[in-house]
Structure 1
Amino acid sequence: MELIGEYDEIEIPPVKPYVIRHRRFACRCAHCGSRAKAPAPAIATTTPFGLRIHALAVYFKGFQALSYERLSGLFRDAFGLVVSEGALMNMFIRSHIRFKVEAEKAKVVLRAAQIVASDETGVRIEGTNSYHWVFHCKDAVVHQPDYSRAARVADEMMGGHKPAVWISDRYSAQQKHGERHQTCLAHLARDTAFAFEHGSDDLPFRFRVWLGRAFDLAKEVATFTASTLARKKRELEGQLTVLLTVTTQCDLARQLQAKIGRARSQLLTFCDYPGRVEATNNTSERKLRPCVIQRKVTNGYRAMWAAEAEADVRTTVDTARLSGANPFAVIVNALT
């Protein structure tokens, strides 16, 4: 007999709540008539919902962008478990302290990092226009909601620490937080594409070619010897000098030239940290994308504590993801 094939049939069995009911009795003494009550079980003073129910609620709310109403419906329809919106809110409040502890650990790591990247996006909190910030290094990711988009948020997050390199876009509040800065070349490429499409001069096209060469160098930067990398950097700097001195009558081209000129010292920092500093801030944008989806689906947060709680969950999970951890397993572990 020989095996000629294997075929899997996969199914998920019905998921039902597992309930342990504690009964408490009282009895009356037949001689003296006094009434004796059994002690109340520990469950009588806390929530009836177990750890994995808490974990599922946190996971679906934070990583599948379910609102309170939809999450309550999911528990009812898929698991046969009635959980009110108020009960869900209480689950998040109870769980927050566990994730806050993990988030503080991530902040400690971030405040010792030599290379830090950051970005921010808008979010509604308590009916006002607020911001969701992200800061990350190779060993930690920290999410932080705030009513402000000012540099104060980054200053408070770093706690006085100044990394060797700060990676961000050209937004003013993201400047001067590191000893050196790497400006996101992808942002400048978008500005260049706009000037090229709507302008009347070939200067944006020449900047586009220069940025293409910079991107090509960034892709292979870790493969070059130090001398070859230094030579290629000098060549790009020389070409940039020429482009910044070109005279143009196109307003868009002139504005682009001025913008790139102001960022000149921040364009090729990645060459001095091969393989450690990225030429773009796309990683920060990817880490913010789930937050943007959450904002569009739920329209933000009713209270700051909810935004902070979810940010701490994201901090815990995204930091663990850097080492390949499973998000739901991380949530369960944090609550255990």
Structure 2
Amino acid sequence: MKLLLRYLLSNAEKDALLTEQAALIERMAARIAELEASVGKPKKTSSNSHIPPSKDGPGRENRKPQPPRKQRPSRPGVSRPLTETPDKTERRMADICLHCGKTTPEAGQRCRHRYDHIDLPPIRPVVTRVELFGGRCGCGKRYRAEAPAGMEPGTPFGPGIRSLLLYLHHSHPVGFERLSRMLQELFGLAISEGAIANAFRRSQAGLDQARAAIKAKLLTARIIASDETTTRVDGVTQWQWVFISDQAVLHEIAPRRAKSVAETVLNGHRPEIWVSDRYAGQQDLARVHQVCLAHVLRDVQYAIDSGDTVVAPKIRDHLRWAIRVGKRRSDLKNSTLAAYAAKAERRLDALVGHPTAHPAGRLLQRQIKAWRAKFFVFLTDRGVPPTNNVSEREIRPSVVFRKVTNGFRSDWGAQIHAGYRSVTGTARLKGQTAFAAVRALVDGQFAIA
């Protein structure tokens, strides 16, 4: 049958069929070559690449067996310390002796045991009915009393409720439906999802104002660290950036991951030192750049897993040594730290130039050469960290928020989250809790020194 069909085809149809088969064979050959090249390569995981731990694979059965842990030495038992200012003290006197049954007088008894019993009272919202009196003046105009400060007409929900809504939704990713049910069941407060959204929108002006002040403070910094991650806005993938100095934390949510986002934030400012990973969009933003050595160590580990036993293990040990030196910079003299920095540079130069036959080792050497001048800035400046963990820790709560809530349904919701994370992150640098910071913001008292 196939033979008959072949003779029924025209010459043009035969040529088209042959062209299609040739293209298919070419694609299959390319795929076969790709699979042959990947044979023997280790799987990329969070320990040897930039893949997050959530994509390492299902279950614990795929993990490498860990050596048995050393047994910890026993520690003395401790108990919860007593509250210095208890709200109430309950004193109980013994009535009888439990051993002989005799009545015991109160005189001569002393405290044998003291402990705290802690509980929460029923929490209910405080409802204040506001009645504004007035009348008609002799001039013919109506008049009415002014509303109490903080209780103006409009939303019935006060700053305490609005602060709690922001805190629970953005710090502990509680969705609108669960948040409404939680307030009803815990506090007896009936509030709809629409009312929650309206409460958030009313806070947007204050958050924007606070974020502008935080940005102005950030642009005075000498050292800035940054990182970025994906987020979802109205079903579309966008990017959440974080910029951190020693006094300010700024979050930005933008449609792009391009370098222009950071340049727009900096607005012409050029800090002295920039700390980030090796993503191209975060390069050439400052005079000096410190790359994250934790990211470099994962690439080194991949070269080791690929089979390089000559160069990669030595580079790993050298970078770990440099990080250990960085952790004790505060105890080192300037001359000692300078000697360590020179040693780190010389040793890395030797390792990059060391001959190796393994392709993974040669690839690692080429990667290090490309970033050679950005490894040990932290050994010449005590204020520079060797890794970008501060940015990753700051952006991790937003990653959890994205995974729990699947992102934002509107652009204004994304901007509110960026403002909230900026305010709470900056407040944490000053030792202030997230709830205290958002309450100060709602009360109009948030200030950045």
Q: Under a length normalisation based on structure 2, what TM-score does the superposition of the two structures give?
A: 0.70
- Check if 1:112 corresponds to 2:220: yes
2:316 corresponds, among 186, 189, 208, to: 208
- Contact 1:25–1:37, Cα closer than 8 Å, also in 2: no
Correspondence for 1:15 among 106, 117, 123: 123
The reply to whether residue 284 of structure 1 matches residue 394 of structure 2 is no
**Residue in structure 1 matched with residue 247 of structure 2 by the alignment:** 139
The residue matched to 2:230 in structure 1 has which SS?
Answer: strand
Whole-angstrom distance in 1 between the partners of 2:214 and 2:134: 50
2:439 equivalent to 1:304: no
Separation of aligned partners in 2, 1:78 and 1:140: 35
Distance 1:39 1:297 in 2: 48
Give how far 1:82 is off: 1.2
Question: Residue 40 and residue 171 in structure 1: after superposition, are their counterparts in 2 closer, same or farther (change >3 A)?
Answer: same
Structure 2 residue aligned with 1:103: 211
Change (3 A) 1:249 1:47: same
Inter-partner Cα distance in structure 2 for 1:132 and 1:87: 27
Shift of 1:200: 3.7
Residues 82-117 of structure 1: CA deviation (Å, up to 9, x unaligned): 111111000000011112211111111100100000
Output the CA distance in 2 between the equivalents of 1:109 and 1:217.
Answer: 31
Question: What is the CA distance between 1:319 and its match in structure 2?
Answer: 0.6
Of the three residues 299, 317, 320, the one matched with 2:424 is 317
Answer with 1 or 2: which has the greater Rg.
2
Corresponding residue for residue 75 of structure 2: none
Contact 1:22 1:41 in 2 (8 A): no
Query: Take 1:251 and 1:52, find their aligned partners in 2: how far apart are those partners?
Result: 61
Q: Which residue of 2 aligns with 1:165?
A: 273
Number of corresponding residues: 327
After superposition, residues 48-127 of structure 1 pair within 5 angstroms as 48-127=156-235
Amino acid at match of 2:393: R
Task: Give the Cα separation in 2 of the matches to 1:44 and 1:96.
Answer: 19
Q: CA deviation at 1:248?
A: 2.5
Contact 1:182–1:267 (Cα < 8 Å) also in 2: yes
Q: Tell me how far 1:222 sits from its aligned partner.
A: 2.4
Q: C-alpha distance in 2, partners of 1:25/1:234?
A: 79
1:246, distance to aligned residue in structure 2 (A): 2.1
Q: Is 1:326 the equivalent of 2:411?
A: no
Distance in 2, Cα, partners of 1:267 & 1:299: 36
| Paired position in structure 2 for 1:246 | 354
One-letter amino acid of the counterpart of residue 59, structure 1: Y
* Rounded Cα–Cα distance in structure 2 between residues aligned with 1:26 and 1:63: 44
Amino acid paired to 1:142? L
Matched letter for residue 198 of structure 1: S
Matched, 1:179 2:287: yes
Query: In 2, are the aligned partners of 1:65 and 1:298 still within 8 Å (CA)?
Result: yes
- Quote the residue 2:341 is aligned against: 233
Find the aligned partners of 1:62 and 1:218 in 2 and give their Cα distance: 34
Q: Secondary structure at the match of 1:12?
A: coil
CA distance in 2, matches of 1:5, 1:38: 65
Task: Report how far residue 251 of structure 1 moved.
Answer: 2.4
Q: Aligned in 2, Cα 1:265/1:40: closer, same or farther, shift over 3 Å? A: same
Distance in 2 (CA, whole Å) between partners of 1:81 and 1:37 is 36
Q: Secondary structure at the match of 1:130?
A: strand
CA–CA separation in structure 2 for the residues paired with 1:239 and 1:302: 52
Structure 2: runs of 5 or more not aligned:
1-108, 136-140, 444-449
TM alignment of 1:215-226, pairs within 5 A: 215-226=323-334
1:201 CA drift (Å): 3.6
2:392 & 2:371 partners in 1: Cα distance? 20
Q: Specify which of 251, 256, 271 is matched with residue 364 of structure 2.
A: 256
Tell me how far apart the structure 1 counterparts of residues 257 and 220 of structure 2 sit (CA, whole Å).
23
CA contact (8 A) 1:24 1:38 kept: no
2:154 is matched with: 46
Q: Would you say the 8 A contact 2:312–2:364 is kept in 1? A: yes
Which deviates further from its counterpart, 99-108 or 133-142?
A: 99-108
Assess if the C-alpha contact under 8 Å between 1:106 and 1:142 holds in 2: yes
Specify which structure has the bigger relative contact order, considering alpha-carbon pairs within 8 angstroms and separated by 6 or more residues. Answer: 1
Quick one: distance in 2 between partners of 1:264 and 1:229? 19
Partners of 1:210 and 1:264 lie apart in 2 by 14
Structure 1 residue 24: Cα displacement: 7.8
> Separation in 1 of the partners of 2:110 and 2:229?
60
CA contact (8 A) 1:52 1:332 kept: yes
- Show structure 1 runs of 5+ residues with no match: 28-35
TM-superposed CA distance for 1:245, in Å, is 1.1
**C-alpha distance in 1, partners of 2:208/2:438?**
12
Q: Structure 1 residues 135 and 39 mapped into 2: Cα distance closer, same or farther (>3 Å)?
A: same
Letter in 1 for 2:354: V
SS at 2:409 equivalent: coil
> Over the residues paired in the alignment, what is the CA RMSD in angstroms?
2.0
Deviation, structure 1 residue 2: 4.7
